[in-house]
Amino acid sequence: MDIERRSRCPINLTMEVLGDRWSLVVLRDIMFGNRRHFRELLNRSEEGIASNILAARLKRLVALGLVTRLDDPTHSQKAIYSLTEPAIQLVPMIAAIGAWGRRHLPVSQDLSIRAELLEKGGVVMWEEFMEDLRGIHIADPIGGANGSVTSAVLIRLTKAFLDVRAKMELNG
């Protein structure tokens, strides 16, 4: 798929790829939620994406080379969506966006804990996470989708999220 090219400015071109309302959210859910099937992406998104929008975004992300689509060997009608190397290299940018949002917007404690940990972990954590993502999305996408291949960073981030959410439920 070709992208619109209003100019050859790298910021403009990046915004042509990622600047719509849903693309980064879908990438976030695949990256940080390890949501790899259409139904998981549809039903477990905090933002409630519509099925037609999700289908269009996945198709576009695949066409742009940010996501791959692989038939799921466990179910003939399911597909597994995986990040490609260019999408994995978005981790530092997504961490920076999360850090900015935490500082300047009215975020919730549970949904911002991962951004906080990524900001505090810095480049070392981002590199470790990107290496983990390569293992679960590129080296073994089937194992990454079924949980037999995991990410130590993703496990830490998910535990922190669940711990904060549990505290919020106890206090709320």
pLDDT grade for 62, boundaries at 50, 70 and 90: very high
CA distance linking residue 107 with residue 58, whole number of Å: 26
pLDDT reading at 6 higher than 80: no
pLDDT grade for 93, boundaries at 50, 70 and 90: very high
At residue 13, the pLDDT reads 85
Closest among 119, 108, 129, 136 to 47, alpha carbons compared: 108
Segment 112-161, tens digit of pLDDT: 999 999 999 999 999 999 999 999 999 999 999 999 999 999 999 999 99
CA distance linking residue 7 with residue 45, whole number of Å: 33
User: Within 75-140, where are the H helices?
Assistant: 85-88, 91-104, 109-133
* Mean pLDDT value across residues 41-68: 96
CA distance linking residue 17 with residue 64, whole number of Å: 8
At residue 151, the pLDDT reads 96
* Mean pLDDT value across residues 68-73: 96
Torsion, CA 112, CA 33, CA 44, CA 47, rounded to 10: 40
At residue 2, the pLDDT reads 64
The encoded tokens of residue 40 equal 């998981």
- Residue 73 CB partners (closer than 8 Å, separation 6+): 142
- Residue 60 CB partners (closer than 8 Å, separation 6+): 1, 23
